[in-house]
A and B are shown apart, each in its own frame.
Chain A
Amino acid sequence: MALRLMKSLPEIEDQELVARTLDGDRDAFGVLVERYQDRVFGLVRHYTRNPVEVEDIVQDTFLKAFTRLSSFQRQGSFHNWVYRIAVNTTLDLFKRQGRNPVQTVEDPEVIGAPPTRSLMRPDAQLKEREIAEVTHKVLAELPEIFRTVLILREFEQQAYQDIADLLGISIGTVESRLFRARAKFKELILQRYPEYGQVE
């Protein structure tokens, strides 16, 4: 029955589904979950490659969203709101587990000297999966604040303003973090794979 009802709801706006959920409509919340589950799974997967952990985090994300639904600002984007919860849930979990503790942008070891070589494109012989593996290994070594802006910008194609809203920071901070994150990403790739470097 739930599935049948959910199929009649897909055209309804997010705000309406939120209102119905708050009125106790379980199917409405199911539609919201179904609408965004692919994207949230995709987002969380950039943080961890463990599929069980991904599922747990995504599930927690939606359960948290449900408990906080009354605080959702109806004029805002539900997608951005859920994304923010997903990022925070992931980072909270990592923090509790002592994985990749947050480092400040001002940490000189984090910023380091800008690489003097530029990064080449990945080898045409490499398959997309292999490139993604390399990229995610390097991303995993980045401080959380850098990893998150890179994931949101480069994988999720989020606009600077959306990233700023999502993380609760200014656009200027987004630009600054992206600049440093890209420099650090390049530095780490060149350390691991010096063959991809070329003199600028």
Chain B
Amino acid sequence: MKCEAVKPLVAGYLDNELSESQAAPVRQHLLDCAGCRNEMQSQTAQKSWFVPTEPIAVPDGFATRVSRRAFAGDKGLLVPAPRQEVQRGEARILQFVIQMTAVAAVVLLILALGMKFNAHPEGSELRADSSDLREALEVMERLNREEQFQLPQDNPPGASQPEATQPVGSGVGK
């Protein structure tokens, strides 16, 4: 056997996992090849880190206690009843979050559609529609001009300015 064929079998050889027909040529090769022998020694050294641990002391009456609990219907501390309760609670919260998210998504969609159809600027030119504002400014400017024109007649210099409390358009008709 060649080294390339032996090296992958060394672990199985050490673990007694090879059949005799597989193990015999590996054994012979290991006797002849220092390189593969080193590989085997390296793997053996690694195995020596797994030392048998001291047997753990089982609490007195453990078997009797477990048997009694089993026949009493106890399914254990770690599973599954408390876990299912927790899962059911979590599922309810998750379901609520999903439902709220869905409602929020629908509301957002409706708002977006409303904005699209009600407040969308007309025409291809992207500008603010300021016609109403312009008209209002023109009216106000005209009123101011008329007012300024009338001021010297109604309010001589040095008099107080009662008109300031009057509506802007109150003097227009005078």
Contacts and interface: CB of A to CB of B under 8 A. Distances in A.
A3 B61 CA distance: 9
B132 to A, nearest CB: 63
Given A159-B17, A182-B11, A26 B59 contact: no
Interface string B34-65: 00001000110111111111111011001110
B15 interface: yes
A59 to B, nearest CB: 6
Contacts of B75: 63-64, 67
A42 interface: yes
A182 B75 CA distance: 36
Interface residues of B, number: 37
A131 B51 contact: yes
Contacts of B55: 38, 42
Contacts of A83: none
A79 to B, nearest CB: 15
Contacts of B59: 55
Contacts of A64: 75-76, 79
Contacts, number: 127
B66 interface: yes
Interface stretch (A70-78, A103-111, A121-129, A140-148): A121-129
A97 to B, nearest CB: 10
Given A119-B49, A132-B53, A153 B15 contact: yes
B58 to A, nearest CB: 5
A37 B63 contact: yes
B11 A30 contact: no
A154 interface: yes
B51 A182 contact: no
B83 interface: yes
Interface in B57-102: 58-59, 62-64, 66-71, 74-79, 83
Contacts of A29: 67, 70-71
Contacts of B62: 33, 37, 55, 58-59
Given A51-B56, A160-B17, A119 B77 contact: no
B46 A119 contact: yes
Nearest to A126: B51
A137 B40 CA distance: 25
A34 interface: yes
Contact of A59 (B47, B64, B66): B66
Contacts of A56: 77-78
B12 interface: yes
Contact of A121 (B17, B38, B45, B71): B45
Q: Which 9 A-B pairs have the closest CB atoms?
A: A154-B50, A118-B42, A30-B67, A60-B76, A66-B70, A34-B63, A33-B63, A63-B76, A121-B45
Given A60-B76, A60-B78, A121-B49, 12 more contacts: A26-B67, A29-B70, A41-B56, A42-B56, A45-B56, A59-B66, A63-B76, A92-B79, A128-B51, A131-B51, A160-B15, A182-B43
